Amino acid sequence: PRRKDIESNFANGGASVLVSDWEQAIEVSNFIAPEHLELCVANPEELLKSVNCAGAVFCGPWAPAVVGDYISGANHVLPTGRSARFASALRVDTFRKHIHVVRVERSGLERVAPFVAALTEAEELFAHGEAVARRVTQ
């Protein structure tokens, strides 16, 4: 009943990709960054370790994507259009405010001071450079 939809998907950029091994399969998958990725293999956890671009991953033959869409509790608002390269599924944290906290020991600042100096000089942000230089020379 959905043949026309499937044909339309292939006509508008859909593809089947033949790969030589699992490593290449994961490489292609990470490039595509799919909304849904099904790992229908005997040991999906091994492959899962290498997946870094997917909206949701379904592990094993008993976890079809439809379970995530309707039953499992996985969010159905997933990154599409290859945006799983840099975005995650919608979740509570999407609406939370986060504050970055930075702690540095004196020895750590001394180690990075030359790099900070080079970057701040290149950007002509001399006061930024002085903020580090004065601390490490005291």
The 10s digit of each residue's pLDDT in 17-72 is: 999 999 999 999 999 999 999 999 999 999 999 999 999 999 999 999 999 888 88
> What confidence score (pLDDT) does residue 80 get?
85
With respect to residue 38, please indicate whether it lies within any of the assigned structural domains.
Answer: yes
Lowest mean pLDDT among 24-38, 68-82, 93-107: 68-82
Per-residue DSSP letters for the chain?
Answer: --HHHHHHHHHTT------SSHHHHHHHHHHH--SEEEE-SS-HHHHHTT--S-SEEEESTT--HHHHHHTS---S----TTGGGT-----GGGGS---------HHHHHHHHHHHHHHHHHTT-HHHHHHHHHHHH-
> What confidence score (pLDDT) does residue 33 get?
92
Q: Looking at the predicted structure, is the pLDDT value of residue 76 above 90?
A: no
Are 111 and 83 members of one domain? no
Catalytic site includes residue 36? yes
How much is the mean pLDDT over the chain? Answer: 92
With respect to residue 131, please indicate whether it lies within any of the assigned structural domains.
Answer: yes
State pTM to two decimals: 0.66
Are 9 and 56 members of one domain? yes
* Number of structural domains the chain divides into: 2
**Mean of pLDDT values over 82-86:** 87
Catalytic site includes residue 100? no
Of 7, 23, 35, 100, which residue is the catalytic one?
35
Q: Looking at the predicted structure, is the pLDDT value of residue 104 above 80?
A: yes
> What confidence score (pLDDT) does residue 14 get?
85
> What confidence score (pLDDT) does residue 78 get?
86
Domain range enclosing 17: 3-91
Of 23, 36, 105, 110, which residue is the catalytic one?
36
- The residue with greater pLDDT, 57 or 97, is 57
Are 122 and 56 members of one domain? no
Are 30 and 67 members of one domain? yes
Q: Looking at the predicted structure, is the pLDDT value of residue 105 above 80?
A: yes
With respect to residue 86, please indicate whether it lies within any of the assigned structural domains.
Answer: yes
With respect to residue 112, please indicate whether it lies within any of the assigned structural domains.
Answer: yes
Question: Any idea what the CATH number is for the domain that residue 58 is in?
Answer: 3.40.50.1980
**Mean of pLDDT values over 96-104:** 88
